[in-house]
Amino acid sequence: MTEAAETELHSAEVLPKDLRTQAELVCAAAYSTDGVEPLAEQAQELIQHEFTDGLWHSWILDSGKLVAYGNIDARRIPSIECVVHPLYRRQGYGTALLANLLSHLPDAEAQVPDKTIADNLDPRPMVWSHGDLPAAQRLAEKFQLERTRELLKMQCATEDLVVNLPELPAGVEIKTLAEADSMWGEDTLNQWIVDVNNAAFAWHPEQSGWTVEDVKEHRAESWFDPQEGFVAVDSETHALLGFGWPKTHYPQEGDEKATDGQPIAGELYLVAVDPLAQGKHIGTVLTSLVLRRLAAQGIPTLLLYVEGNNEVALQVYGNSGFTVDRCDVAYRYNPPQAT
CA dist 226 and 304 (Å) reads 19
Which residues of the chain does CATH 3.40.630.30 include?
7-151, 162-320
What pLDDT score was predicted for residue 188? 97
pLDDT of residue 11: 97
As a whole number of angstroms, the distance between CA 8 and CA 62 comes to 7
Its pTM stands at 0.85
Rg (CA), the chain: 21
Give pLDDT, residue 112.
Answer: 47
β-strand partners of 80: 72, 127
In angstroms, how far apart are the furthest CA atoms of the chain? 72
Q: How far apart are CA 1 and CA 68, in angstroms?
A: 11
Q: 116, 100, 101: which is closest to 204 by C-alpha?
A: 116
CATH topology (fold) of 162-320: Aminopeptidase (3.40.630)
> Residue 241 — φ and ψ, nearest 5°?
-100, -25
**pLDDT computed for residue 4 by the predictor:** 52
pLDDT of residue 109: 53
Distance CA 97, CA 70 (A): 7
What is the spatial distance between Cα 171 and Cα 93, in angstroms, rounded to a whole number?
A: 59
Chain centroid to CA 127: 13
CA separation (Å) from 262 to 251, 252, 302? 8, 11, 14
Q: What is the pLDDT of residue 165?
A: 84
Fold of the domain spanning 7-151: Aminopeptidase (3.40.630)
Q: Which residues of the chain have pLDDT under 70?
A: 1-5, 108-120, 252-261, 338-339
The set of residues, in sequence order, having a beta carbon less than 8 Å from that of 33 and lying 6+ positions away, is 86
DSSP classification of residue 309: T
Quick one: DSSP state of residue 54? T
Residues 188/182, Cβ–Cβ less than 8 Å: no
Residues shown for the chain? 339
